[in-house]
Amino acid sequence: MAGWSPRRADPFDLVGDDDVGVVLVHGFTGTPYEIRYLGERLADAGFTVRAPRLPGHGTRVADLDATRWEDWAEAVERAVDALRLRCPRVAVVGQSLGGLLALHLASHRKDIACVASLAAPLWLEGLSAKVAHWTRPEGWLRRVRTVPKIGGSDIRDPRAKAENPCYQAVPMRALGQLMTFMKITDDALPDVTQPVLVLHATQDHTAPVACAQRIAERTRAVRIRILPRSYHLIAVDVERDIVAAEVRQFLHSYGEAPCAT
């Protein structure tokens, strides 16, 4: 993946033809590294790209533990507003938590042209769900502040996994905010009237693949594709070129159309 910035956690802007702008949003405990490859492919196709770094991310785990879901949502809204000054049409593409943020924003901002959700979680299963339950205020692990991210980031590609500058621990208070936001976004999905693309992986160990079908049904998505080989971070994993091609085609088909009113 040559050409990537050595400062992998940094936000980035890539200039295209200025007609269609794309805000790319990374996931929980992650950084813009997760969507850098996708951003470069979209810029090569002529799209202007902005990828913010969400509050609390890319610095210290304690910083993330001090944020609320509203902080993340406001950061994406600011990125959209900034890009709208340059581009008459703006789409939002998000990985994991970024997908939730994109969908939530589109539910009440009809000036968003279209949305692509990449492995967005509406609920958790397995150990992640148990940890979230155990560390609630009434849970038996309620005094635990952080939990190690066992196994590191959920990426199959060994190089991308090694390069990923995500946090190696999950702060429990911030995880509670994520859980709250998953429910808020699920409730808002029927209000998303823009075209929606849903991409997910069968072998996702973080966001159950059934979330993809629910998002597609509740938003009346124009396309859903399930990838057979990738893990959770599909925009940077072994099928990243398929993801980039799907998003690029979707944006050419719907991002360049007049925005919803």
4 within some domain: no
Structure tokens at 193: 């009237």
| pLDDT in the model for residue 121 | 97
Per the structure, the complete domain to which residue 75 belongs is given by: 12-255
Give me the amino acid identity at 228. P
CA 96 to chain centre: 4
Q: Residue 228: pLDDT above 80? A: yes
223 within some domain: yes
Judge contact between 53 and 32, C-beta under 8 A. Answer: yes
| pLDDT in the model for residue 71 | 98
**What's the pLDDT band for 148 if we cut at 50, 70, 90?**
confident
2 within some domain: no
Helix count and strand count (H, E) for the chain: 9, 9
Q: What is the average per-residue pLDDT within 84-105?
A: 97
CA distance 150 to 161: 13
137 within some domain: yes
Question: Element (H or E) spanning 183, and its range?
Answer: helix 172-188
Q: Please tell me the pTM assigned to this model.
A: 0.92
163 within some domain: yes
Q: What is the CATH number of the domain that holds 22?
A: 3.40.50.1820
261 within some domain: no
| pLDDT in the model for residue 17 | 83
Q: What is the average per-residue pLDDT within 30-41?
A: 97
Question: Element (H or E) spanning 198, and its range?
Answer: strand 196-201
How do residues 39-50 score in pLDDT, each as one tens digit? 999 999 999 999
116 within some domain: yes
1 within some domain: no
How many domains does the structure of the chain reveal?
1
